Structure 1
Amino acid sequence: MGEPTEIQQIGAQRADTEHGGGSGAHPASSGDLPDGATRATQSRTAVLRTRVRDQRRSPARPRIWFELALIGISYWIYSIVRNAVPEQEAVAQKHARWIWDLEHTFGITVERSINHAMDGVGWLITGMNYYYATLHFIVTIGVLVWLYRRHPGRYVAARTVLFVTTAIALVGFYFFPLAPPRLMTDGGFIDTVKTHGTWGSMASGPAAHVSNQYAAMPSMHIGWSMWCGLAIFFLARRTWVRLLGLLYPAATLLVIVSTANHFWMDAVGGVLCLLVGFLTARWLYHSWVYRLPQVPARETADEPITVPEQWSEPAVSTARR
């Protein structure tokens, strides 16, 4: 018996479609397929998207020469911008009085009492002056080097936090000039650097004429020390080192108040800048800084995969047979 006519027609249409035949199927399929240039463009776009996604999930460690140049240029720009801000003494004094009155409202105006108490202990306040002048840079650079060497997968994100924090601080320096307590008119604070003849502030002594004396809000001594302390606390292995990480910003807070370089509220401003830095890094890398892999994925992928020697022996003997 022969097949019905409808079944024969359907079978013929299927055969034409499979072999690329038919008057309507072939032009439609050729129109849908991209040409070679389009394929190459789509391929490059896909590769770029993959690289960006991988970089955000597991940032690669930058080359040391690039990183040194970036940090050096960034700090140079930071110094120029910070010290190029016009010194508006009248406005800075007005802001200092406003901060002082605000702290009175909250009942936290103990800076002057601490300043006077610490000034009475010569060796202690002298040490604080040198602490203020040196550790701010030494510890920050040391933590950067430590992250680069021991936690390369987290380094770029952590450095981003520091850069964003500092950039926001520059905005604060420009739009909110603030006289530090030691320069506050009728504030009754003691400039411990001048009193004890030490060097502990770029805005005191011979360096005062080249430094912006009213860049006090927010406090980058607090912003940077908190950044260092949190990195040490979350990533260090030894308990006593982690405790030192927590003590470092606390000690810095005591120093900036004792030397009358900052109000309490300046420290709050530094913490807020740091918070924005962490949130920015969280948005960029889709993860909190300290949850990123310790080593970039591409570095671990390049490591050779080794297996026990006995695993390969049966395969070799079988191949010889």
Structure 2
Amino acid sequence: MVTMSDVARVAGVSATTVSHVINKTRKIEPETERAVLAAIAETGYLNDRVARSLRTGKTMTIGLAISAISNPYFADVVHAIERTVSANGHSLLLADTHDDPEHELRAVTDLLAHRPDGILIAPSSDPQTALDRIASRRIPTVLIDRVHPEIDSWPFDAIGVENVEPMAELVEHLVDQGHRRIAMVAGKKGLQTTIERIEGFHLGMSRRGLASSEADVAHGAEDAGAAVDALLALPEPPTALVMGNNQATIDSMRRLAERGIRIPEDLALACFDDFPWADLFHPRLTAVRQPVDLLGSRAVTMLFDRMAAPELAARQVRLRTELIVRDSGALRR
């Protein structure tokens, strides 16, 4: 059986250098890397992850439970996570939760069966059972995107973005444009990000001396088009809409186009979640930009810190967002 030491001897380097080349845990000079790769090819060395797992008790994998398919925002987060996990010499195991507690528990159970060295999870609206399952296995875990109020009672780190203040600022921007009737198409009911952004909506209205009520908020996760229809049917219809996430934005814009409603000539629109082509729309969309790459990379860094030092006190991190003012929030009436 060919070992890493055999590869090192043929390449004329140390076994540690061979390990760094294989696991990508440190930058190696290109010439040295080529020599190691050539030695691997010559000796027929196989990096047997299973055998290494039996020796070290580590699988060199990280589990990620997230709604990656149904939530387009998370697709970008997953890319950032995968890059950072790979740079740390691990592989990523992905399980889709569908933002549903039952699917979430099944996803977590599947991940645990693969014995990952750590887990990242974007919690659903009712994650208690899944998180209890993880806690019972004492696996290092970081909650990503949704920082629950109950976090102090859970033995997990958590990282997300600020939601309340950025949404309030988005609403205040629309008021400063002259809007007095503003409504919101919110994300999935019960998710912590949805709860916080609705709070921010009402806060922004209040700070500008305007009234708002539950009737001014419609949840659009299942049918954003129906949510738009309901808001436009209010006795005093809004002159501006704020969107709780980018899926709500896309689906709402589709419904507005079907109804022949122009943005911003007939109705202004601003959204929480920027995306790369938001400034290619006509008009260009005013949006709250989340630090997607930083969110993903910092979550992984926090997880590896926790894996290295399980005794660390649990940490909560909130990242700042950026309001990108474009053209879609103007008042044209």
What TM-score, normalized by structure 2, do the two folds share? 0.24
Structure with the largest fraction of strand: 2
TM-score by length of 1: 0.25
Q: In terms of Rg, which structure is larger?
A: 1
Structure with a larger share of its residues in helix: 1
Q: Larger relative CO (CA 8 A, sep 6+): 1 or 2?
A: 1
